[in-house]
Structure 1
Amino acid sequence: MDNFAGCLDFTLSMEGGYSDDPADPGNWTGGIPGAGELRGTKCGISAAAYPSLNIQDLSRKQIDEIYRNDYYEPVHGDDLSSSLALVAFDAAVNAGVRHSVVWLQQSAGVVADGIFGKITLGALQGGDVGKLALEALARRLDYYARSSGWNRFGLGWSRRVLKLAKKI
């Protein structure tokens, strides 16, 4: 099953276009405000994650390729139900693949090592999709609420998680 198009549509609707907010660590090639160059983020592709790319001039084809190769495939989007693929993919884009996998593993009650293997896949495919997806979203929101960026970005993160919950 190819869940990629649906996942990409949702995530791009949340990520928007180009941003170079100097307070956002992702916009800096060094991953910290003031560290490296302020190259920004476009459609969720950040200078912190891709410091050698010209972020502002990324094409839609480049964005799609990065999303599929670096976020969708590592969370096994084609092996999951559409709801779990969406939750996993969007979390991977917004918080990193490792965090996404850990939240899925925690929701499934398996060892949360951030490595997506056969045990994780089996637990996700054999579990209640709705409960697993909502639990992963709750863990994601809890993570955000504990982060240093919560005061500045928390409302937006919360809206995003709620939209995901509604969609699934």
Structure 2
Amino acid sequence: MINFDDAFAALIGIEGGYSNNSADPGGETMYGITKRVAMQNGYTGDMRLLQLEQAKSIAKKCYWDLYQCDQFDIRIGYQIFDTAYNGGHPAQWLQAAAGVTVDGAIGAQTISAVRGSDPLKIVMRFCANRARYYSSLNNMTFINGWVNRLAKNLDIGAA
């Protein structure tokens, strides 16, 4: 994995296509893009008809670029991207992993601290925060999927 295109391909391998599970607080999704996010980005059609390229464009803008994933080692960028996509606290978990003030804004201090750290340590700490978050949720319907997703993220981080 070397860039956004690779990260998106890996993510879509997890997200799949259309879903409308009543237990999912994200609601109706296509390629992991929720209807709410699609509409905020100008999509007005049936979610089942959202094209992969449209989803990719939304993902780049809302989850990759917003969290400055290009600023980091791809293994770290992927963790941030996947967490933003899946729901969680990517900026806070990244800051905690880097040992900087947790304010939820990825700025110069966070970027510098992350770049000056061992990427594997950042990935491990980030995933530990994510695991703690999953264990705090009351919705256990998706726990197997979340644990498998986290396992895949650890594999990606170790690559």
- Relative CO higher for 1 or 2, CA cutoff 8 Å, sep ≥ 6? 2
Name the Cα RMSD after superposition: 1.4
Alpha-carbon distance, 1:76 to partner: 1.1
Out of 127, 133, 156, the position equivalent to 1:137 is: 127
Matched to 1:45, the amino acid is: I
1:80 aligns with 2:72: yes
Q: Are residues 51 and 144 of structure 1, via their aligned partners in 2, closer, same or farther at CA, if it must alter by over 3 Å?
A: farther
Give the counterpart letter for 1:42 in structure 2.
M
Is the 1:41–1:47 Cα contact (8 Å) retained in structure 2?
A: yes
Query: Please, which runs of 5 or more residues in structure 1 have no aligned partner?
Result: 28-39
1:41 aligns with 2:29: yes
Once residues 120 and 131 of structure 1 are traced to their aligned partners in structure 2, the CA distance between those partners, rounded to angstroms, is: 15
CA distance in 2, matches of 1:86, 1:25: 23
Count of residues in correspondence between the two structures: 152
User: Displacement, 1:48?
Assistant: 4.1
1:51 Cα deviation (Å)? 4.8
Task: Give secondary structure in 2 for the equivalent of 1:88.
Answer: helix
Give the % identical residues: 32
Shift of 1:93: 0.4
What is the letter of the counterpart of residue 119 of structure 2?
V
CA contact (8 A) 1:74 1:116 kept: no
* Aligned AA (1:81): D
Which residue is 2:147 aligned to? 158
Which residue of structure 1 aligns with residue 56 of structure 2? 64
Work out whether residues 72 and 89 of structure 1, in 8 Å CA contact, stay in contact via their aligned partners in 2: yes
Residue 122 of structure 1 pairs with residue 112 of structure 2 = yes
> 1:33 maps to what in 2?
none
Distance in 1 between residues matched to 2:87 and 2:143, nearest whole Å: 13
Q: Counterpart of 1:62 in 2: which secondary structure?
A: helix
Q: Deviations over 1:51-70 (max 9, x none)?
A: 56432211112111101100
Given that residues 3 and 77 in structure 1 are in contact (C-alpha distance below 8 angstroms), is that contact kept between their aligned partners in structure 2? no
Residue 17 of structure 1 corresponds to: 17
- Runs of 4+ aligned structure 1 residues displaced above 6 Å come to none
Matched-pair contact (CA < 8 Å) for 1:26–1:49: no
Of 137-146 and 47-56, the range deviating more from structure 2:
47-56
